[in-house]
């Protein structure tokens, strides 16, 4: 069995981006380690949600551990940086923000975990962080550098398949579940993820969607029951999230893999 380290910007990212893949890997007997750059202290939270004197970072750390238990992850670690907020916000400039982190220093923090775990597989995000979030972009930069430092054999960039997203929306329109005017403009869609031609790996996680959804629900401060993700009917959720998409770092596009462990013991 192999060890997979999945590197994320904030608690809840692991659920949305890779939850099915992580649950599937753990169920197959692989060791799964979650690493978060920040505790997501600048996320939005409903008034009155937190307990008296409780900070959002504390709640999100608890939620990360609850999610890890749902997914079957064996370890949760934090690199200790501050949430950088959205691009262009004042939080970007905080000296402790992940966006401001020295690349080599941050990579060494992650590399220490990769080396300790003897990780064969590392997941990060694509170079745009999926949709341009500064901490997500930094996950890519730091993760790739850390993998190079210790010679991690496989690095996968978790991303979204924008062509698949378009197909799902078109199917929803045809089924009367979505109004045509609610489909995002093509230009807007082109800011998300990558085209299908750039992808290398499609992981079928339909057998683990219950865990993916339960993992999302564990992050109640960010993903309440009435949220887009949790309010979706099961069939629509399966169409949208039944496959998780990756780019094997350094490899040309073309989907030819169905998991992250082919050829590993």
> 70-98, pLDDT tens digit by residue?
999 999 999 999 999 888 898 898 999 99
Q: Greater confidence, 185 or 190?
A: 190
> Domains along the chain?
3-160+199-233+244-248 (3.40.50.10320)
pLDDT-above-90 percentage for the chain: 75
| DSSP 8-state assignment for residue 194 | B
Average pLDDT over residues 156-184: 83
Q: How high is the pLDDT of residue 187?
A: 55
Q: How high is the pLDDT of residue 169?
A: 82
Among 19-28, 113-122, 154-163, 222-231, name the one with the lowest average pLDDT.
222-231
Alpha-helix residue ranges (DSSP H) falling in the chain:
13-27, 56-71, 103-117, 134-150, 162-174, 186-189, 209-218, 228-231, 234-241
| DSSP 8-state assignment for residue 41 | T
Count helices and strands (H / E) in the chain: 9, 7
Q: How high is the pLDDT of residue 52?
A: 87
The answer to whether 23 and 216 are in contact (CB under 8 A) is no
Average pLDDT over residues 14-28: 97
Q: How high is the pLDDT of residue 188?
A: 66
* Band (18; pLDDT cuts 50, 70, 90): very high
Among 34-38, 152-156, 163-167, 194-198, name the one with the lowest average pLDDT.
163-167
* Band (265; pLDDT cuts 50, 70, 90): low
Q: How high is the pLDDT of residue 247?
A: 98
Q: What are 175-189's pLDDT values in tens digits? A: 777 777 666 665 566
- Rounded Cα gap, residues 130 and 67, in angstroms: 21
Kindly give the interhelix angle for 56-71 and 13-27, rounded to the nearest 10 degrees. Answer: 30
Helix (H, G, I), strand (E, B) or coil at 132: coil
Among 172-176, 221-225, 241-245, name the one with the lowest average pLDDT.
172-176
Backbone angles phi, psi at 122, to 5 degrees: -130, 130
């Amino acid at each position: 069995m192999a060890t997979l380290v999945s590197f994320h910007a904030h608690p809840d990212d692991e659920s949305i981006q890779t939850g099915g893949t992580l649950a599937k890997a753990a169920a197959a007997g692989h060791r799964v380690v979650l690493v978060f750059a920040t505790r997501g202290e600048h996320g939005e939270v409903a008034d009155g949600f937190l307990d008296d004197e409780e900070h959002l970072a504390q709640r999100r750390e608890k939620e990360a551990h609850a999610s890890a238990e749902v997914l079957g992850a064996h370890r949760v670690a934090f690199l200790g940086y501050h949430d950088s907020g959205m691009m262009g916000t004042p939080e970007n400039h905080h000296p402790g923000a992940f966006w401001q982190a020295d690349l080599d220093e941050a990579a060494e923090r992650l590399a220490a975990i990769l080396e300790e775990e003897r990780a064969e597989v590392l997941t990060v995000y694509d170079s745009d962080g999926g949709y341009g979030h500064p901490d997500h972009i930094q996950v890519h930069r730091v993760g790739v550098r850390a993998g190079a430092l210790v010679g991690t054999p496989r690095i996968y960039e978790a991303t979204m398949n924008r062509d698949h997203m378009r197909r799902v929306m078109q199917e929803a329109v045809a089924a009367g579940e979505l109004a045509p005017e609610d489909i995002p403009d093509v230009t807007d869609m082109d800011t998300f993820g990558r085209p299908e031609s750039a992808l290398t790996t499609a992981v079928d996680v339909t057998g683990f969607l219950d865990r993916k959804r339960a993992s999302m629900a564990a992050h109640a401060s960010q993903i309440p029951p009435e949220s887009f993700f949790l309010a979706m009917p099961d069939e629509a959720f399966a169409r949208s999230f039944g496959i998780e998409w990756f780019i094997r770092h350094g490899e040309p596009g073309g989907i030819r893999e169905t998991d992250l462990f082919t050829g590993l013991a």
